[in-house]
Structure 1
């Protein structure tokens, strides 16, 4: 990811090494992800906008994205 893109997107990597790149503002609906990305100096993830989920497989991780996007639509109706 370029520097410009890296501020807008976050990369989530599953335990089986699948990579998902989603908009950062959408990923922040997760309190855990929000804490990992917004805690300066505490997490390497906050510097790289990349989170490794060592215990979560891709098939599970990809199930949370529809929830994130539906939450975004609920908060920002068109």
Structure 2
């Protein structure tokens, strides 16, 4: 028996755990820690935003920081 409510798939971001709070705020937590160099460069493993689109942008920014740090070659 169905109750008439539609089932909407939960949004996902690979490598991140998402939570929608009781105040309809999105939280994202990176499943694997960032390397120390990425953390020192400003990559944050836990984020929050008002919308899924905003959290996606924030996550991509953190991942970009980590990619940039990983691509740096030290002499």
Q: Shorter-normalised TM-score: what interval?
A: 0.3 to 0.5
Larger fraction in helix = 1
TM-score with structure 1 setting the length? 0.38
Larger Rg belongs to:
2
TM-score normalised to structure 2 length: 0.40
